[in-house]
Structure 1
Amino acid sequence: MPSKKAIYKVVAILVILAVIAFFVFFPAQLDKQTNRLHDSNLPVISEQARALHRQLFIGDWHSDSLMWKRDLIENHDYGHVDIPRLQQGNVALQMFTTVTKSPDGINYEENSTDASDNITKLALVNLWPISTWDSLAERALFQASKALELAQRFPDQVSLITSKSDLSQFLEKRKANPKLLGMLLGTEGSHALDGDLSNIQRLFDSGFRMMSLQHFFDNKLGGSLHGVSGEGLTEFGKNAIQTMRSLGVMLDVSHSSEQVVKDILAMSNQPLLISHTGFYGHCPSARNISDDLMQQIAANDGLIAVGYWDGAVCEPNVTEIAKAIKYGIELVGSEHIALGSDYDGATSVPFDTSELVYLTQALLDLGLSESQIKQVMGDNMLRYLQAHLPD
């Protein structure tokens, strides 16, 4: 009979192996369960759609892929985005957004700032650095570091874009290397500032060129579309916006309260972004702001990027996504519409980034012209970046 000491040793080894197995295998399982592809009727791809898709310059304003423990240089059979699948989908530009706080029991109606935070749990499970456990700014910087490492290690596949000159160089390189991806960095909410204006400069210095103001809850800058107060910009928020604009940071109001959006429009005539959304007139969801406010954003030369998930388009299939895009074109004009998938943002979508040709086909099926499709799929994003990236 084994001694108690031997039994304790075996138990200790088993516990250690179980802990190792958890941290090795659970993050991928969580990713698979959270970022799903659902069964959906996908259109038959015509030769016209294939030929057009090969010609497109495609850009997407919103993917949360850096949040997950997934090596983006490798091809995966789960989640929505990695570099090989972006290349397969003929994507030229991808904005990667960093999620730093997300409330437990998340919903689009009302979330308290005191709600338990899902990203703290994710940081622990995915073994993020200790500095990220209680600092939202460090969480954003850590996620950005993964993108920067990709660009440094694989310059023939990934190019980080932080300025107009970077963008021009990328476009030249891509003529000879059509698989080259232009990567940009943005925040999912300015709670990533940790309430400190100096963190805007820190994030800018690390490559961030788009910052959204709110996420699912009110913060020091003002009210969220899904928060409690419904309030507009605070004095801190106004100061933050002035600092961002002085650096050349593009402002994203995807989750901002309607009053925050109105306050920003009243501050200046600089165009705004909505990096991932739907249209209330097409999908009356609490996730989507009013059509009237969308028209005001567009009238100020803003850009509205349409998402692929239920909160944005109500019925998340490729036809409804295409209908949302068509609705937006009819509401504000094709020059103000872009793509904002919200891939890997705890969403369930009908196709991943390698399968974007299905969207091209669906847009053709709805009667959009090839010129309109080119605008929406990426030309508008390129134009906006050429105008609003810092010099």
Structure 2
Amino acid sequence: MSAPVPVFDGHNDFLLRLLRDPEAREATWLSDTGKGQLDLPRMRAGGFAGGFFAVYIPSPVAHDDPDFDAIMRNPPFSLPLPEAIPFEDALPVAMKMVGHLMWMEREGSLKICRSVAEIRAAMADGKIAAILHFEGAEPIGPDLDALHVWHAMGLRSLGPVWSRPTAFGHGVPFAYPSSPDTGDGLTEAGKRLVAECNRLKIMIDLSHLNEKGFDDVAALSDAPLVATHSNVHALCPSSRNLTDRQLAMIRESDGMVGLNYALGFLREDGKGEPFEGFEPMLRHLDYLIETLGEGRVGLGSDFDGAQIPPDLGDAAGLPRLIDAMRAHGYGEALIEKLAHGNWLAALERTWGT
């Protein structure tokens, strides 16, 4: 049996699993426990060679919160956004999550990468090539001092928001059907954040950012526009998906979009319910390739952060997705680009190395 095609992935929430159960950290990372969608054995079985490991600060959960998953299975819906999380509250949580990632590196099977050369070297050595990513900039204060601390620790990618507001901007609510035009643009602190990320060569992720914030980043940034885990609004009119106008701006900037595997962002009806096979994923890939070009599309799974198609299941199922691409008519050269080549090229355009 041939080795699986290496996949470099645009987004995962594995660190959130470790945050929620730190006592089981070793088993969660090193063993196939059958829980979640990622662990080292399933990554290796599926060809998951690396990707963006997100630091996401979870909102407090109240006992009277509604069943959001049930609501998202029955569109139309518009979920209320959680309250903003203060920098002082977010900072120690982010430190714990980055500590987990650094433990994974010390364990020896993963490398936190700060350049594309380091990514390529880690992949060649059989180590998981990890990019430290912030999904929401809550662990950074408006003075941006913490941005420099995190950069020194390896931060090379961040999204100014995860849907709820931050000191830097506003995200889209989880809503279907809905435009991403849902509020104000970047704050003055957000504009300074974009400029400093450009200076430090930190990739700016547009996933979760609302339309006015997207436009502000596009006007201010000198880097390619990137959405690490977003889909096509014309095929699924969720607030989290990208409009044709946004896709055109990404193309013009020589940017990148990673396909999100979340059910509700793939299905035309917006339902967070399972479907058989891979056709909705391939439909979004076809549209992205036609709109952006073959060199600006990749994968952005949202593993451990979303309900995904059951025929894919988890990281070990990635070869089934690759086989579906082949059956759909994608050639091997295109598959290599989608699986990892385009992400590495986009990072080179952003980081310079």
Q: What range is the shorter-chain TM-score in? A: 0.7 to 0.9
Shift of 1:169: 3.3
Post-superposition CA distance 1:18-49 (Å, at most 9, x none): xxxxxxxxxxxxxxxxxxxxxxxxxxxxxxxx
Question: For the Cα contact (< 8 Å) 2:238–2:265, is it kept in 1?
Answer: yes
2:297 corresponds to 1:337? yes
Q: Distance in 2 between matches of 1:316 and 1:381?
A: 28
Question: For the Cα contact (< 8 Å) 1:298–1:332, is it kept in 2?
Answer: yes
Question: For the Cα contact (< 8 Å) 2:198–2:221, is it kept in 1?
Answer: no
Q: How does 1:40-51 map to 2 (within 5 A)?
A: 51=2
Q: Distance in 2 between matches of 1:206 and 1:347?
A: 31
Q: How does 1:166-177 map to 2 (within 5 A)?
A: 166-171=118-123, 174=124, 177=125
Q: How does 1:56-205 map to 2 (within 5 A)?
A: 56-68=5-17, 69=21, 70=25, 71-102=28-59, 109=78, 111-114=80-83, 135-154=89-108, 157-171=109-123, 174=124, 177=125, 179-205=126-152
For 1:270, what is the secondary structure of its paired residue? coil
Q: Distance in 1 between matches of 2:95 and 2:155?
A: 9
2:198 corresponds to 1:230? no
Post-superposition CA distance 1:205-227 (Å, at most 9, x none): 22211101111212211221228
Corresponding residue number in structure 2 for 1:257: 210
Shift of 1:301: 0.8
2:346 corresponds to 1:379? no
Q: Distance in 1 between matches of 2:307 and 2:139?
A: 21
The aligned amino acid for 2:30 is I
Question: For the Cα contact (< 8 Å) 2:4–2:46, is it kept in 1?
Answer: no
User: Which of 350, 353, 360 is the aligned partner of 2:315?
Assistant: 353
Corresponding residue number in structure 1 for 2:178: none
Q: Distance in 2 between matches of 1:99 and 1:277?
A: 17
Question: For the Cα contact (< 8 Å) 1:218–1:229, is it kept in 2?
Answer: no
2:152 corresponds to 1:212? no
Shift of 1:272: 1.9
Q: Distance in 1 between matches of 2:139 and 2:183?
A: 20
Q: Normalising by the residue count of structure 1, what TM-score does the alignment of the two structures yield?
A: 0.75
Question: For the Cα contact (< 8 Å) 2:83–2:164, is it kept in 1?
Answer: no
The aligned amino acid for 1:294 is L
For 2:138, what is the secondary structure of its paired residue? helix
Q: Distance in 2 between matches of 1:226 and 1:257?
A: 9
Task: Note the residue ranges of structure 2 that are not aligned, 5 or more in a row.
Answer: 175-180, 268-272
Q: Distance in 2 between matches of 1:164 and 1:375?
A: 15
The aligned amino acid for 2:227 is I
Q: Percent identity?
A: 25
Question: For the Cα contact (< 8 Å) 2:194–2:220, is it kept in 1?
Answer: no
Q: Normalising by the residue count of structure 2, what TM-score does the alignment of the two structures yield?
A: 0.82
Cα distance change on mapping 1:329 and 1:62 into 2, 3 Å: same
The aligned amino acid for 1:306 is L
Q: Distance in 2 between matches of 1:280 and 1:303?
A: 16
Which is greater in Rg? 1
Shift of 1:309: 1.1
Corresponding residue number in structure 1 for 2:327: 365
For 2:29, what is the secondary structure of its paired residue? coil
Shift of 1:297: 1.0
The aligned amino acid for 1:365 is A
Shift of 1:141: 2.2
* More divergent stretch after superposition (332-341 vs 185-194): 185-194
Task: Note the residue ranges of structure 1 that are not aligned, 5 or more in a row.
Answer: 1-49, 121-131
Question: For the Cα contact (< 8 Å) 1:167–1:386, is it kept in 2?
Answer: no
Shift of 1:166: 2.3
Q: Distance in 2 between matches of 1:258 and 1:291?
A: 12
Question: For the Cα contact (< 8 Å) 2:116–2:344, is it kept in 1?
Answer: no
Shift of 1:103: 6.8
Cα distance change on mapping 1:313 and 1:262 into 2, 3 Å: same
Cα distance change on mapping 1:96 and 1:222 into 2, 3 Å: same
Q: How does 1:16-31 map to 2 (within 5 A)?
A: none
Cα distance change on mapping 1:75 and 1:113 into 2, 3 Å: closer
For 1:150, what is the secondary structure of its paired residue? helix
Shift of 1:164: 4.0
Matched residue count: 318
Shift of 1:74: 2.2
Cα distance change on mapping 1:76 and 1:389 into 2, 3 Å: farther
Question: For the Cα contact (< 8 Å) 1:271–1:302, is it kept in 2?
Answer: yes
Question: For the Cα contact (< 8 Å) 2:170–2:185, is it kept in 1?
Answer: yes
Shift of 1:249: 0.6
Corresponding residue number in structure 2 for 1:127: none
Question: For the Cα contact (< 8 Å) 1:309–1:316, is it kept in 2?
Answer: no
Post-superposition CA distance 1:290-333 (Å, at most 9, x none): 12211211220111001111232126542211221122112221
Corresponding residue number in structure 2 for 1:38: none
The aligned amino acid for 1:241 is V
Corresponding residue number in structure 1 for 2:241: 288
